[in-house]
Amino acid sequence: MLNKTSLRNFLGELPLAAELDYSLRQKNRARKDHFNLSRLKKSLPQAVEQAKPFIQRPIRNPQYEVKNVLLFATLHYWIEQAAYISLALAGLGHKVTLMTLPYSEWHKEMDKLTQKQRGLHTRDALSPLSTLRQGSGQAFIPHVSMLDLRPSTFDLPPALHADIAEISLWDAQYTLMREEVDMQDAKDKALYDLRIKRNTFAALAALEWMQVNKPDVVLVPNGLILEMGIVFRVARYLNIPAVTFEFNDQREQIWLAQNTSIMRQDTDYLVEARCKLPMTDEMYERLADLENARRGARVWGKSKRLWQYVSSQGAQATRSMLGLDDRPVVMLAANVLGDSLTLGRDIFAASMTEWITKTVQFFAARADVQLVIRVHPGEKLVPQAKSMGTVVREALARIPSHIHIIGALDKVNTYDLIEIADLGLAYTTTVGLETAMNGTPVVSCGQTHYRGRGFTIDPNSWDEYFFTLEKTLADLPAQRLSESQTAHAWNYAYRFFFEYPRPFPWRLMKFWEDLEEWPLEKVLSDEGREQFEDTFKFLVGEPFTWP
């Protein structure tokens, strides 16, 4: 007897069965599926009407050329935003193709009927983009579903096979929220194999499409994991310029990267162009205001995010609360496991888990100093992730009294710990940068954006790491940052927090809220172009500039 999944797989294979079921029963019903573009379907016709005058007579800036852009998006929330980005780029004169992959669950197979109907729902929601340009017979924004592509070959070059293996491992780590993927475990292996299968198809489909259609630039969110990472890697394999993007906590801001994944946070270009410039008093005041807001557990700027859940209690009160004495304090600031900002950032450690494990084992034998491990407060938001506190407890049979674990929910402010610390240890968290801003030496152990900028200690091997710890702990006062190093840390921090993000109208997770403030016609108006046109220019690969 067929079970429900088998029946839906069977129906999904029948010619026109999915189409008929969608047309007769699904199309006009309220969707219960998590993959839901109903809001986009309702809003897009009006957006197309708003963009139509600009697309018919595009705004063309003579300073940069018209580009043939491929914009790829998967998952319903990225697709919603991508539809509007496509229209904005078309309004600015570019020729945009929107390629979608109508998945919702990247970590499990859906039955074939459901998946086909998601494709139909996506086509239906995006159909206003297919409005024909007046007198041309061409759609405003051609839409291509990756699931409809049928690659003519199953051969991939070795470089892309290596990319698929690497990204599929990161996909598994990201999904499991732990760094250990056990290929002997049936569930772990099944997840990894599924990601290999899906990423291989995405690579084949994207490779053939790009070779045939030859876009000038490929635009893709994230660019590190899932099919987003694969499409980015294919573009780079073909030597096609690729731009990736993500969002921070601030409204009307976007992070951009050209020819690298934005999750790598490669700031070399920023350092070269901006960090040699002097800081003004106003810059110092603005950065100090941000740091004070974080220290005080207050929101700042156009953000509602709290970086700390308890305000500063002061260094002495925190020392007393933790039972710290006069011995030197080493603060280890952890990241959240599975965060795509930590994936693939290893230098000498195989993983952040291994780094923390060996580090606490080293300090277990060093009762002459006190180690404070700050579990990232962000663990509160991802309770399914393996806690760094758990990693520490697994590393040591008994936690010695000179090692203190500060949990994600503990009422301790990280900025009090920065003030107390004589030495900071960081993997990729910006706490390492903020610790250096305090003049405190920081050992940078992961491939983070501020490593190698002149104000951190940067070991490249385990031997070098442990030698560095021994040498630094032998004379901590001598390791304090110089005045010029501290000033350099402040300069870099200003550039990273305020010049690395670019103005942009629509965030991802608050997209519909932002759209009310910045409808498409306003974005394409003189007011909108004054604020955002440079960012759209960078989105299609034009070199970064600053006012």
306: domain CATH number is: 3.40.50.2000
With respect to residue 161, please indicate whether it lies within any of the assigned structural domains: no
Give pLDDT, residue 547.
84
For residue 317, report the phi and psi dihedrals to the nearest 5 degrees: -65, -40
| DSSP secondary structure code for residue 23 in this structure | I
Q: CA–CA separation, 384 vs 371, rounded Å?
A: 26
Mark whether 374 and 300 lie in a shared domain: yes
- Taking only the tens place, the pLDDT of each residue in 92-130 is 999 999 999 998 889 988 877 788 888 889 999 999 998
Q: Taking residues 533-542, what's their average pLDDT?
A: 96
Q: Taking residues 30-53, what's their average pLDDT?
A: 89
Give pLDDT, residue 284.
96
| DSSP secondary structure code for residue 398 in this structure | S
Lowest pLDDT segment from 28-37, 168-177, 487-496: 28-37
With respect to residue 195, please indicate whether it lies within any of the assigned structural domains: no
Mark whether 243 and 290 lie in a shared domain: no
Mark whether 433 and 354 lie in a shared domain: yes
Burial of 534 (0-12, 13-18, 19+ CB in 10 A): buried
Q: What is the mean pLDDT of the chain?
A: 91
Mark whether 303 and 260 lie in a shared domain: no
Q: Which residue has the higher pLDDT, 195 or 310?
A: 195
Give pLDDT, residue 509.
87
User: What is the Cα gyration radius of the chain?
Assistant: 25
How remote is the C-alpha of 340 from its chain's centroid?
6
Q: How many domains does the chain have?
A: 2
With respect to residue 15, please indicate whether it lies within any of the assigned structural domains: no
Burial of 393 (0-12, 13-18, 19+ CB in 10 A): middle
Q: Taking residues 482-491, what's their average pLDDT?
A: 98
Mark whether 335 and 227 lie in a shared domain: no
With respect to residue 4, please indicate whether it lies within any of the assigned structural domains: no
Give pLDDT, residue 6.
67
- At residue 100's C-alpha, the angle toward residues 96 and 106, to 5°, is 150
Look at residue 298 and tell me whether its pLDDT is greater than 90: no
With respect to residue 183, please indicate whether it lies within any of the assigned structural domains: no
Mark whether 310 and 238 lie in a shared domain: no
Q: What order of strands is seen across the sheet that includes strand 370-374?
A: 403-406, 370-374, 329-333, 423-426, 442-444
Give pLDDT, residue 478.
95
CB 408 within 8 A of CB 414: no
Look at residue 435 and tell me whether its pLDDT is greater than 60: yes
pLDDT band with cut points at 50, 70 and 90 for residue 321: very high
Mark whether 469 and 514 lie in a shared domain: no
**Cα separation values, 522 from 53, 91, 255, 514, Å:** 13, 12, 22, 12
Find the domain containing 402 and state its range: 285-499
Calculate the dihedral angle through the C-alpha atoms of 109, 337, 357, 478, rounding to the nearest 10 degrees: 150
Mark whether 320 and 424 lie in a shared domain: yes
CB 446 within 8 A of CB 352: yes
Mark whether 83 and 229 lie in a shared domain: yes
Give pLDDT, residue 253.
95
CB 176 within 8 A of CB 188: yes
At residue 514, the 3 state secondary structure works out as helix
Mark whether 317 and 464 lie in a shared domain: yes
Residues in the chain: 547
Among candidates 54, 47, 90, which has minimal Cα distance to 526?
54
With respect to residue 5, please indicate whether it lies within any of the assigned structural domains: no
Give pLDDT, residue 197.
96
Look at residue 409 and tell me whether its pLDDT is greater than 80: yes
For residue 118, give every residue at least 6 positions away whose Cβ sits within 8 Å of its Cβ, in sequence order, or none.
Answer: 33, 35, 102, 103, 104, 110
Look at residue 134 and tell me whether its pLDDT is greater than 60: no
Q: Helices 76-91 and 112-126 sit at what angle, rounded to 10 degrees?
A: 30
Mark whether 325 and 263 lie in a shared domain: no
Look at residue 340 and tell me whether its pLDDT is greater than 80: no
With respect to residue 546, please indicate whether it lies within any of the assigned structural domains: no
Strands 370-374 and 329-333: parallel
Lowest pLDDT segment from 11-20, 164-173, 343-352: 11-20
With respect to residue 248, please indicate whether it lies within any of the assigned structural domains: yes
Mark whether 306 and 220 lie in a shared domain: no
